[in-house]
A and B are shown apart, each in its own frame.
Chain A
Amino acid sequence: MPTESDIALRVRSALAEYLKRDVKTIKSGDTLRDDLGLDSLATIELVYQIEEAFDLEIPDHDLPGLVTVANVTAYIEGKLGHA
């Protein structure tokens, strides 16, 4: 099982890859929409990649909770039983 910091890094790396930015510029406190500029389609694409990478199923009603990078990491950790 991946460690907690592995998950955080993988989330930030996925965002860096998508946004074509250096992973160091992506902070865990960044909001997906306002700080990173992800529109709703881009957010859904990110969720899709997370589902693939971590073999998860993320229901629609969980999406509003995914506001910051830290939220996403915590959500995955919770799903994988790390919390």
Chain B
Amino acid sequence: MTPRVVVTGLGVVAPIGIGVGQFWKSALAGRSGVSAISAFEGLPMEAYRSRVAGQIHDFNVGQYIEGPHAERVDRYAQFAMVATKEAVADSGLRLDRENPRRIGTIVGAGMGGMVIAEQEYHRVYQNLRPNRVTPNFIPAVTLNSASGVIAIMCGAKGPNLTISTACSSSAHAIGLARAAIRSGQADVVIVAGADASIVPLTFAGFCSLRALSTSFNDTPERASRPFSQTRDGFVMGEGAGVLILESLAHARKRRARIYAEVSGYAATSEAYHMVIPREDGLDISSTMAMALRDAGVQPAQVDYINAHATSTPIGDVVEIKAIKRLFKSRATRISINATKSLVGHTMGAAGALAGIICAMTLSTGQIHPTINYDDPDPDCALPGISTQAQERPVKVALLNAFGFGSNNAAVVLEKFLP
């Protein structure tokens, strides 16, 4: 029989909290983690069209992880290590008692080690001394550096993989971790999503793409405003989320606490445009439909959607169009929220953060507010979107994640019923 897959541990490093307790409390309170970027060393901030971001301030990996190794990896991998440590502890797994070959690591990362990358690019072109590039450059910037260090830290000898599909990376990581457990490759998979690319060149690139919010530089906490009429682009965020996925049999054997079941997943391509979704939302609605079919759930059973909702003019309206197309009259009875209203768009971490929010929502019945939805766009408005926290029994949750490169992911999580 194909194993059922459950979530047994959570860990997070986010602009609104390090640790799931603080993160969830801030989310329910509708606290914004977006602030003004104080400076990019030496660069004129006024030349950046967008000057706000969801940054994690005063992060020092040494506070969380002992030893020299964590300091040698890039910031995004440090976030992933800290969130992994929390998630493993939260799951109650005793890694030293597990068969290491049955534990996998799958990480979603969109940009990877951009902090060290930009530092070294800058140094080599400025100093013209290629023999003075740090030996740690390549191990730190290869896109699978986070999955490597997590596997080493946890002694995990199962599949050790990195999924890079831009903004949807860790949603696909959740789906592929479930697939790895269902196919018998692993009993446990540490699923992480992480990115930390609020650095001068990368940030400037997103500015040039005209993808970022520019009208709220003086009121940063208002800049990320999914579904609002005055939204004008996304806000860059950074962070990491980790979920411990486990076969139900393995979780039961060790009497683990179960947050939720991961019951469905779909991945599709729009084969359309590198950075723009198809305006009819057809591929998005069919992705959600496929994930629900995979879970054996009818659209009418869905209670809650964690929307991709990045706060871009096109993206939000297309997602709502797709939701209306698939769910028809049910669309008005589903609670929907946008986690990015709180933390900005954490790129590779976004799918994992959404997964954590779904797991917490399923296990508590609480739905965090969508902040800055104070001037609803009529083309996005649905009664289930609220600036207030909501409470209702949630049995079926769906999370959406779409990525540059024309790719879509949808994951179904359900309240665990034995």
CA distance A57 to B132 in the complex (A): 10
The answer to whether B68 and A48 touch across the interface, beta carbons within 8 angstroms, is no
* Distance to closest chain B CB from A45 (angstroms): 5
Q: Contacts A18-B68, A20-B67 given: A45-B139 contact, CB under 8 Å?
A: no
Give the residues in chain B near A51, CB-CB below 8 Å. 132
Quick one: closest A residue to B139, CB to CB? Answer: A41
- Closest-CB distance, A19 to chain B (whole angstroms): 6
- Measured between beta carbons, the chain B residues less than 8 angstroms from A41 are 135-136, 139
For window 14-62 of chain B, which residues contact chain A by CB distance below 8 Å?
Answer: 62
Alpha-carbon gap, A20 to B72, bound state (A): 12
Q: Which residue of B lies closest to A20 (CB)?
A: B68
A48 contacts B67, C-beta separation under 8 Å:
no
Report how far A52 CA is from B132 CA in the complex, Å: 8
Asked if B131 and A45 sit within 8 Å, CB to CB, the answer is no
Contacts of A45 in B (CB 8 A): 72, 134-136
Q: Which of chain B's residues has its CB closest to A45's CB?
A: B135
Chain A interface SS verdict (over half): helix
Q: How far is the CA of A52 from the CA of B62 in the complex (A)?
A: 25
Nearest chain B CB to A18 CB, angstrom units: 6
Given the complex of chains A and B, what is the CA–CA distance between A19 and B69 in angstroms? 9
Interface residues on B, range: 10 to 19
Interface size class of A (residues with CB under 8 A): 10 to 19
Contacting residue for B134 out of A18, A19, A48, CB 8 A: A48
Residue of B nearest to A44 (CB): B135
Min CB gap B353→A, angstroms: 31
Complex Cα spacing A57 to B68, Å: 26
Residue from the set B131, B135, B136, B139 with the largest chain A CB neighbour count within 10 Å: B135
Q: How far is the CA of A20 from the CA of B68 in the complex (A)?
A: 6
Please, what's the 1-or-0 string for B114-133, where 1 marks a CB less than 8 Å from any CB in chain A? 00000000000000000110
In the complex, the answer to whether A57 meets B135 with C-beta atoms within 8 Å is: no
Interface residues of B in 60-74 (CB under 8 A from A): 62, 67-68, 72
Instruction: Determine if A57 and B139 form an interchain contact, defined as CB atoms under 8 angstroms apart.
Output: no
Q: How far is the CB of A20 from chain B (nearest CB, A)?
A: 5
CB distance from B72 to the nearest CB of A (A): 8
Q: List 18 A-B contacts (CB under 8 A).
A: A18-B68, A19-B68, A20-B62, A20-B67, A20-B68, A41-B135, A41-B136, A41-B139, A44-B135, A45-B72, A45-B134, A45-B135, A45-B136, A48-B134, A48-B135, A51-B132, A52-B132, A57-B131
Q: A20-B62, A20-B68 known; 16 other A-B pairs, CB under 8 Å?
A: A18-B68, A19-B68, A20-B67, A41-B135, A41-B136, A41-B139, A44-B135, A45-B72, A45-B134, A45-B135, A45-B136, A48-B134, A48-B135, A51-B132, A52-B132, A57-B131
**Which residues of chain A have a CB within 8 Å of any CB of chain B?**
18-20, 41, 44-45, 48, 51-52, 57
B positions within 8 Å CB-CB of A: 62, 67-68, 72, 131-132, 134-136, 139
